Amino acid sequence: KEGLFDKDEAFQDGRQVLNFDERLASAVSEFQEKYASEILAPYGLKRGTGYVGPSTRKKLNTLYGCKTNSVLPVVHITANNSEGPIVTVTPGSSVVIGWNSTIENTKGCTISSDPYNENVNGIVHSSGILSLIPTFNATYTVACTYYDPAIEVSNSVTVNLYSTQPSIISITPNPVTVSTSVGAVLTISGLNFNTQANNDIILKNTSTGVITHFYDISDDDGKTLFFIVPAGTVAGPYQVNVDNNINVATTPAYPITIISSSTQPSITVLSPNGGEMWIQGKTYNITWQSTGVSAVSIGIENAVGEDHSLNPSGQIPASSGSFLYTVPLTMPVGAYKISIQSCLLANIIDRSDNYFSIVAPTTQPSITVDKPNGTEIYQAGSSAVNYAWSANYTVPNGIIKIFVLDSAGNTFYTYGLSYNVNLPPGTYTPGSAGGFLMDGKTFTSGKYRIEVCDMNSPGSVCGFSAYFTVSDGTNVPKITVLSPNGGEQWDRNKQQNITWTFSGNVYSQVDILLAAYTDLGIVQDWQLISAGVSTNQGYYYWTPSSLSFTNASLANPYIGYKIKIREANDNESAVMDTSDNYFSIVSSTQPSITVLSPNGGETLKQGQTYNITWSSVGSSGSSMVNILLINPGGTPTTVASSISTTTGSYTWTVPSNISPASNYKIFVYDPNYATTIFDLSDNYFSIVAPTTSQNISDQSLASISEATARIAKIIGEMLKK
């Protein structure tokens, strides 16, 4: 270009025809001088470095009229041989990421993922593959830098894990109640939710049309979302959608109803709540009440604050209200509290009010409070507390505490006693006064009981008295049985209504009992019909067919029944009432028995076998009959007992020790209803001795012969006529 050398002289027809001679060498030297003055001198260089940088290359290209390469490098990246840009795969499947550069002069390449994955990021060759099983949605990028041209080129592919549209199966609770200060938790169950924290909840008020978005809701398994409805959300009809942010996939709308309430979410531990004794290896029921809480976790805490979960495998539905727990044999003996906490609202938690004990599985120490026994009624305004207690073990010296508790279980008053000697097993009444005076406290109307606690034994040993009553004279507790109250006839196969009224401070629940009476008094103890019936209810439906009484004896048949209703808090409660008089229980189809044989006029011989027969109608609930032989002048004799009623027959051999007589009757009866379901032979029959054979004398034979001749003569005369 500068005229230093004519290339046409060196090449002809594309081949070299001139060797490197003095002329060509002179041209090279002249070029070097020109290069030194025009290229090196501006940079203060005396000689070349051997490196031709981008700027030098550009100047040389300009100086000699050369053009740069117009082809730029390209990086290709694929997922499972697809360039995407989004490739959707099934969760758990393998994905192959592949890449290559279109030119070779790379300085270096790197691969990265977003979100970050430590198994992916790093330096790689200009081409290659990477196999992996993705656990979340990610974008994979390969970037390469080059010497010529001096640029960086990158390309990306995105791999998503779901190909199925998400759906909602259920939302609980529905309707959901939210308060003005605390939101309520929705459990959204469905399919194909995003396992990353990028599900969106779309809540639309279908009445007002207002739409609210909630972003980045977490889900671990693709099936369950927990969403807290914001406090103060306007009540009304709504629809819920879940957007899993994959391929713009959104569930169909699911309708719910939101109810506003000022009620705050809460949990209340009911049992164990303090004072209970649990034995290692045994199973107990933990109970609670909750409002506005969907799921709970349960823990147990010792006296120094150490705790662990009782349900580490998962959540417990709050609505169940109970959890069976078996105390491990390895659980240390000591004092504990139960804690129950909302799984989603950590500030909603409750604990046992006081410590309960866990003890070894041996004969357990116990305290029994013998007095008050539930029959007492004290005057309001008094401060005296009378009590007595007993222990089945030696109580170590130290502190005994007496707690006066109200009907809600709250401590009304605490009294402490100090013993400097061990107390052997037995009953203890405190001093001649039998109690103490509450300092600065007087009783108001209500129900109370005494708790005596040995504070010295491990875990404390406590016992409770029955509830006693404190009345101001106008609020005396009273229960009155209304029905049945005497004279009623109740069909044993029909539903009957037991009713009552009450007044004053009666316990919130009552027990209903039944007794059967004879003219000698009760022959059966009170049988429980139902326990823990609401006092306020005032009625209880009952069908008497479940009766299980049996008659004491034929001589003492039942004359009727009575109902008793008592406070349910104590078996010995003085607050109770009984039917004023007897009522009867009968069958709608009046059962009966009829003696068929012997029924009068028969003669039965000693030692001979006969059938005693009868018929029966209806059912008394009993399936058996008893049979007696009645002699009005003597004691009834048992013929048979517990014979199936339906057989209608009994084979009887007349005993030889039965005295011959002509005034016997058979008595067949239902043993449960001997005075109402029975029958006697209509008339007397006889029992006689067996006939004995005798030798006939000659005189008797003569008499027979004479009689025979006379009869023959009479017959002959009749024939002549």
CATH number at residue 419: 2.60.40
pTM recorded for the entire structure: 0.30
Is the pLDDT confidence value at 541 over 60? yes
What CATH code is carried by the domain that includes residue 607? 2.60.40.730
- Mark whether 541 and 564 lie in a shared domain: yes
- Mark whether 278 and 238 lie in a shared domain: no
Q: Is residue 367 domain-resident?
A: no
Select from 569, 511, 578, 577 the least CA-distant residue to 373.
569
- Mark whether 488 and 553 lie in a shared domain: yes
Q: Is residue 339 domain-resident?
A: yes
DSSP string over 255-278: EEEEEEE-PPPEEEEEES-SS-EE
Rounded Cα distance, 287 and 431, in Å? 40
Is 216:225 a contact under the CB 8 Å cutoff? Answer: no
pLDDT of amino acid 570 = 58
**β partners of residue 106:** 146
Q: Is residue 370 domain-resident?
A: no
pLDDT tens sequence across 95-146? 999 999 888 778 889 999 988 888 888 888 888 898 988 878 889 999 999 8
pLDDT tens sequence across 390-429? 887 667 777 888 999 998 889 999 988 777 666 766 777 6
Q: Is residue 716 domain-resident?
A: no
- Mark whether 580 and 675 lie in a shared domain: no
Q: Give percent of the chain above pLDDT 90.
A: 21
Q: Is residue 2 domain-resident?
A: no
Q: Is residue 60 domain-resident?
A: yes
Structure tokens at 146: 């080059």
Is 334:291 a contact under the CB 8 Å cutoff? Answer: no
pLDDT of amino acid 461 = 86
Highest mean pLDDT among 117-121, 621-625, 703-707: 117-121
- Mark whether 598 and 619 lie in a shared domain: yes
Select from 118, 120, 115 the least CA-distant residue to 160.
115
Rounded Cα distance, 538 and 565, in Å? 11
Produce one character per residue of 113-127: b if its CB has 16 or more CB atoms within 10 Å, e if not: beeeeeebeeeeebb
- Mark whether 490 and 574 lie in a shared domain: yes
Domain end call among 438, 453, 471: 471
Residue with the bigger pLDDT between 518 and 581: it is 581
Taking all residues of the chain, what is their mean pLDDT, rounded to a whole number?
80
Residue with the bigger pLDDT between 131 and 560: it is 131
Domain total in the chain: 7
**If you ran DSSP here, which 8-state letter would residue 235 be given?**
P
Tell me the average pLDDT across 270-287. 87
pLDDT of amino acid 298 = 92
- Mark whether 255 and 284 lie in a shared domain: no
Domain end call among 586, 620, 642: 586
pLDDT of amino acid 650 = 95
Rounded Cα distance, 698 and 706, in Å? 12
- Mark whether 467 and 483 lie in a shared domain: no
**If you ran DSSP here, which 8-state letter would residue 701 be given?**
H
pLDDT of amino acid 432 = 45
- Mark whether 482 and 582 lie in a shared domain: yes
Q: Is residue 174 domain-resident?
A: yes
- Mark whether 582 and 489 lie in a shared domain: yes
Is 73:153 a contact under the CB 8 Å cutoff? Answer: yes
Q: Is residue 45 domain-resident?
A: yes
- Mark whether 190 and 226 lie in a shared domain: yes
Select from 348, 338, 342 the least CA-distant residue to 300.
338
Domain end call among 37, 64, 91: 64
Q: Which domain holds residue 522?
A: 478-586
- Mark whether 277 and 225 lie in a shared domain: no
What CATH code is carried by the domain that includes residue 215? 2.60.40.10
